[in-house]
């Protein structure tokens, strides 16, 4: 609720001032959470049945939170597609501070490699395997590196404007990735060091 949904709401409100999820959030998430907190604070019945009921209600509230997060994310992307090319990468920073993204992720493409960069983003293919049946479809493991993204905002990289090129990182270049060092030599991982 606090780390994902509310920051995402701020991002969406900055794009579309007709934000209309507030009433739904109050009636289906906030009120049930407050009732569960009040029951617990008042020392309500502490039987296994009551505890199971509370857990079930918390799971229900969690599902509602996840569904609103998905809906807002979808609406953000939908709004962007009205103004931008559909061939874009949207990166949303939900943190209350500037954030640089360095992440490995799996993507699917008709291209066997995706090695691209512009002033904002770099995508380097680490692994590629064909998974297509009728057409060639590739599962790519890529390293995604962005510049800093402002707090509670989104950044868009239009793939039409990005130069496709073979990416070669210098020998021994170190990239920190979620408390791991990945050492890259000529575009291939040669060593991973875990802490």
Q: What is the pLDDT of residues 19-39, one digit of tens each?
A: 667 777 777 777 777 777 666
Instruction: Verify that 76 and 171 share a domain, yes or no.
Output: no
In this structure, are residues 80 and 19 in contact, taking their beta carbons and an 8 Å threshold?
Answer: no
Q: Where are the alpha helices (DSSP H) in 21-101?
A: 22-25, 31-41, 48-83
**Position 11 pLDDT exceeds 50:** yes
**Position 173 pLDDT exceeds 70:** no
Instruction: Verify that 95 and 184 share a domain, yes or no.
Output: yes
Domain membership of residue 100 as a residue range: 89-194
Number of compact structural domains in the chain: 2
Of residues 94 and 58, the one with the higher pLDDT is 58
Instruction: Verify that 158 and 93 share a domain, yes or no.
Output: yes
Instruction: Verify that 138 and 154 share a domain, yes or no.
Output: yes
pTM for the model stands at 0.46
Rounded mean pLDDT, 11-22: 68
By residue count, the chain amounts to: 195
């Amino acid at each position: 609720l606090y780390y994902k949904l509310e920051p995402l709401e701020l991002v969406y409100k900055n794009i579309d001032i007709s934000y209309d999820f507030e009433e739904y959030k109050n009636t289906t998430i906030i009120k049930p959470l407050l009732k569960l907190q009040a029951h617990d604070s008042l020392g309500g019945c502490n039987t296994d049945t009551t505890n199971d009921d509370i857990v079930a209600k918390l799971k229900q509230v969690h599902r509602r939170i996840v569904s609103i997060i998905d809906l807002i994310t979808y609406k953000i992307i939908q709004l962007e597609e009205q103004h931008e090319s559909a061939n874009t990468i949207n990166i949303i920073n939900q943190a209350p501070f500037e954030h640089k993204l360095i992440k490995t992720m799996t993507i699917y493409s008709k291209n066997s490699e995706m090695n691209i960069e512009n002033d904002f983003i770099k995508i380097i293919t680490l692994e590629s395997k064909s998974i297509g049946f009728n057409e060639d479809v590739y599962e790519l493991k890529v390293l995604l590196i962005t510049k800093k993204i402002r707090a509670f905002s989104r950044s868009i990289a239009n793939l039409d404007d990005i130069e496709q090129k073979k990416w070669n990182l210098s020998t021994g270049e170190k990239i920190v990735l979620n408390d791991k060092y990945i050492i890259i030599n000529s575009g291939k991982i040669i060593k991973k060091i875990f802490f």
